[in-house]
Amino acid sequence: MNEESVGAVEWPTLGLLAFTYAVWMIGTTWASAVWLPLGIVLTVLAIAQFSSLQHELLHGHPFRNATLNHVLAFPALGLCIPYLRFQTTHLAHHYDPILTDPYDDPESNYLDPAVWSRLSRPVQRLLRLNNTLLGRMLLGPAIGTYTFVRGDWRLIRAGDASVREAWVLHGFGLLLVLAWLMAVGAMPLWAYVVAAYGGMSLLKIRTFMEHRAHEKARARTVIIEDRGPLALLYLNNNLHVVHHQHPAVPWYRLPALYAAGKARYTSCNEGYVYRSYADIFRAHLLKAKDPVPHPFYHPH
């Protein structure tokens, strides 16, 4: 499939984005006024879906014009991660030879074994728990946000203007969300923070298995053949090998691409395949998928 065949406007993505904004508005207003738990649930789902759509936007969808895509992603519904920082770090992550590297891959959950050995036992226990699916859902948003913000603060203090500007723009995106909640919202701020955390928790189910430590770069990226509600919530990013090999292909074309080349994709990643997210819950809800210190890390 020729990735350049994608049209100038991808209407499925634009339509889903409009629907997601609508669900977010309903969740923070009418649904919260009727019954706050309902409002929180709808807002959790909208924030998780919005994050998946931001991933599409940074990869050049639904418009070829990057500025238009950035405008669509501007409101900081998820609160914690600036969109422009998400874009920069995620595109760096797409260089497959660095996948899972504790230093070079911005999305790696592995640590340099030398760093791991210097951590206190309580911190090691916390990070081991974070390598179970339950731990990743409950603790992962807090650990990931803390690590990300700490790293960006160090970059800002070192004089990185692009990181500082990304956070300034993120502040304006936060103001939009706050203004909405104060002007027309029926959801208390504390409940919105809970919803944002819940949205990040849902996303951790997707990212939990996406990459594994492996000597071969091509075998580090997973395929999860799920076609249920989570696949829609993650915009088929569960077919992660397909996305990494064809990052310019929109989400709604990934299943057909996988079906047409299933044998090639599964051979490429050496069978790193799960049938469904249910299988992952059964295997790893309470059992770590791998160690925290990178088992194949070689210092540069």
pLDDT tens-digit map of 50-77: 999 999 999 999 999 999 999 999 999 9
Give the rounded distance of the alpha carbon of 206 from its chain centre: 7
In a domain, 54, yes or no: yes
Q: What is the average pLDDT across 68-93? A: 97
For residues 199 and 27, the answer to whether their CB atoms sit within 8 Å is no
What 3-state DSSP class applies to 111? strand
Alpha carbons 185 and 177: distance in angstroms, whole number? 10
pLDDT at 168 > cutoff 50:
yes
293: left (phi over 0), alpha (psi -120 to 50) or beta: beta
pLDDT at 11 > cutoff 90:
yes
Alpha carbons 243 and 291: distance in angstroms, whole number? 26
In a domain, 126, yes or no: yes
pTM over 0.85: yes
Written as six digits, the tokens of 242 are 């397909």
Written as six digits, the tokens of 88 are 């920069």
Determine the structural domain holding residue 101 and report its residue range: 3-211
Number of domains in the chain: 1
Alpha carbons 18 and 36: distance in angstroms, whole number? 23
Confidence bin at 2 (pLDDT 50/70/90):
very low
pLDDT at 124 > cutoff 70:
yes
Note the pLDDT of residue 300.
67
In a domain, 138, yes or no: yes
Note the pLDDT of residue 299.
81
pLDDT at 3 > cutoff 80:
no
Angle between helices 11-28 and 36-58 in degrees, nearest 10: 150
pLDDT at 116 > cutoff 70:
yes
Bridge partners for 111 per DSSP = 293
pLDDT at 185 > cutoff 80:
yes
In a domain, 277, yes or no: no
Q: What angle do CA 125, 127, 132 make, to 5 degrees?
A: 100
In a domain, 107, yes or no: yes
Q: What is the average pLDDT across 229-250? A: 97
In a domain, 288, yes or no: no
For residues 86 and 58, the answer to whether their CB atoms sit within 8 Å is yes
Q: What is the average pLDDT across 123-138? A: 98
In a domain, 98, yes or no: yes
Residue listed under structure tokens 């996948």: 99
Which residue blocks in the chain are alpha helix, DSSP H?
11-28, 30-34, 36-58, 66-73, 83-93, 113-118, 121-129, 133-138, 140-157, 161-183, 189-208, 229-233, 240-245, 254-260, 262-268, 277-284
What 3-state DSSP class applies to 2? coil
In a domain, 172, yes or no: yes
Note the pLDDT of residue 13.
98
